[in-house]
Structure 1
Amino acid sequence: MATDPSATLTTLARLGFAARGLLYLVIAYLVLTAGRTEDPAGALGYLASGAGWWLLVLITAGFVAYGVWRLSDAAFNIERHEAGRKGLGERIGAGASGIVHLFLAWQAVRLLRGAAQSNGNGAEQGAETALHLPGGQLLLIVGGLVLLGVGIAQLVQTYTLKFCQSLDGRVARKEWVKWTGRGGYAARGLVFLITGYFLLRAGFAEQASRAGGMQEALAWLTSPWDTIVALGLALFGIFSLVEARYRVIHDVPVEGMARQARAKLPV
């Protein structure tokens, strides 16, 4: 029996949302139970250390799936983004998200194969590389502004509830789903704002050591804010699991895209 490519891509997307949710739950668990702050890469390293090898395998597969789905959305507009600059920006964001998740999957594969784990500040290392490029200071400043913009957009969603628009209507109307999403997006928004601030100060000072990612942002927060944000990240993980089950994922017009590709081939 032939496999439906559209159904396969839908399954990949759901697997990806589940993997993202599990990873955020691990990050929150480490903060709440051990006071240990980690970014996604660090949480993968924690699982690889023996704390959850099989969970790492599942998350790795999920990130590959999610990355493929997001890149497919960027290329073929699977999620039906509107025409114009706004839709183009959303597709570019989808492509960037796909690349990030495939990179995390690559890191996880290296961990599964026993490759040495980097204990450095990934944001600092990236900033150091950028500063050695022509216009590197400007790159850091622009990157910081982008992160601030993403953080603000996440916080706006806590008011607009845009994150519910992609869910099945019966689930999206449930109050617990709305508040789970609100808490999750508020926490993520705050983390983006802090990391954006870190990158801006690194750019203005031209000091890579002043950059920081999620791990540094969580460590920078004082009590009780670190606990509150960790709880919010746990809520984001739960909301991602809700998306894995109830997100409306549009069918992919695979046959139509194939016909368009064949029509462009030279006769």
Structure 2
Amino acid sequence: MSGSLESQVRRGESFAQAHEDGVRRAGRAGVAADGVVHLVVAWLAAQVALGGGGGSADSSGALRQIAEKPFGVVLLVALAVGFAALTAWQVLTVLTGTKTSHRVSAAAKGVVAAVLAVSCVRFAVGAGASAGTQQQTLTQRVLEAPGGPVLVVLAGLVVAGVGVALVVRGVRKDFEDKVEGTLSRPLRALGVAGWVARGVALAVLGALVVVSATGDTAKSRGLDAAFHEIAAQPYGVVLLLLVALGFAAYAVFTLLTAHRRVRA
């Protein structure tokens, strides 16, 4: 009896492992999709730095740019499938992960991936909306609620904290454990530049969200507002171009390592 039970347990473990591997392989397509979106965001950020009009420099702006291209709808559908697979991978990580930090991170990334999947579908059918506008509206509603300004400040501090954490992670090269095997020097350099650039952008965004607690909700329009704020500073054009290059570096790193990812 015990031998039969152990055999069933082993078969169950084997099935779970096979299922997890399959979800991970599918989820890697979502990692590549994230790289595509970041590449377009990098181009939009560069347009902001150079004074060009390329639309909102955030994920929604990137998806709109894709939708307007030939075969854009087909690409959006492919991105939606990838983000949906990435969502499933993150849900599985939440359920089976052994480290609390990895499970919390997977939960956050799963929510973002799910939102991006839905956004891809909405832009594919022509119903997409600006993420910046939605965020500004949400901030206004929170400010109007009891204790709203305090909540907005706390949210801004959390975003800024995540930005600082990304910078530290990039400098310390903590992203290397996301990829199977070892990274070449060029890939490692791309990772450092990418994580630091994203961290800088999020830190600025967090600061702007805190400022929006005073009632200036235009400051809370997401990455687009952060990029414009960077560009408005002394030497801001140069700094924003560097940030745009960093986003591009992250995109290239993500695309080149997607097939080797063990974590998103």
TM-score range (shorter-chain normalised) is 0.7 to 0.9
Alignment of 1:238-249 (within 5 A): 238-248=252-262
Distance 2:163 2:87 in 1: 21
- Whether contact under 8 Å (1:131, 1:208) holds in the other structure is no
Percent same amino acid at aligned positions? 29
Alignment of 1:210-221 (within 5 A): 210-221=219-230
Alignment of 1:68-147 (within 5 A): 68-77=88-97, 80-81=98-99, 87=100, 89-115=101-127, 117-118=129-130, 121-147=133-159
Residues 146-184 of structure 1 show CA distances to partners (whole Å, capped at 9, x for unaligned) of 1111111111112211001222223x2x11111000010
Tell me by how many angstroms 1:236 deviates.
0.6
Distance 1:220 1:53 in 2: 32
- Whether contact under 8 Å (2:63, 2:76) holds in the other structure is yes
- Whether contact under 8 Å (2:60, 2:130) holds in the other structure is no
Look up the SS of the partner of 1:121 in the other structure: helix
1:257 maps to which residue? none
2:86 maps to which residue? 66
Write the letter of the residue equivalent to 2:206: G
Aligned counterpart in structure 2 of residue 43 of structure 1, from 43, 62, 66: 62
Distance 2:162 2:175 in 1: 14
Alignment of 1:150-165 (within 5 A): 150-165=162-177
Distance change in 2, residues 1:114/1:240 (3 Å) = same
Tell me by how many angstroms 1:16 deviates.
1.0
Distance 2:240 2:134 in 1: 20
- Whether contact under 8 Å (1:14, 1:243) holds in the other structure is no
- Whether contact under 8 Å (2:131, 2:222) holds in the other structure is no
Distance 2:105 2:263 in 1: 17
1:192 maps to which residue? 202
Tell me by how many angstroms 1:249 deviates.
5.4
Residues 113-156 of structure 1 show CA distances to partners (whole Å, capped at 9, x for unaligned) of 22253485233122112123332212111111111111111111
Where does the alignment leave 5 or more consecutive residues of structure 1 unmatched? 82-86, 251-267
Distance change in 2, residues 1:213/1:18 (3 Å) = same
Write the letter of the residue equivalent to 2:81: A
- Whether contact under 8 Å (2:157, 2:210) holds in the other structure is yes
Tell me by how many angstroms 1:6 deviates.
2.3
Count of aligned pairs: 238
Write the letter of the residue equivalent to 1:177: L
Residues 177-203 of structure 1 show CA distances to partners (whole Å, capped at 9, x for unaligned) of 110000100110011101100111112
TM-score (norm 1): 0.81
Distance 1:184 1:116 in 2: 27
Aligned counterpart in structure 2 of residue 175 of structure 1, from 161, 170, 185: 185
Distance 1:151 1:119 in 2: 19
Tell me by how many angstroms 1:50 deviates.
3.2
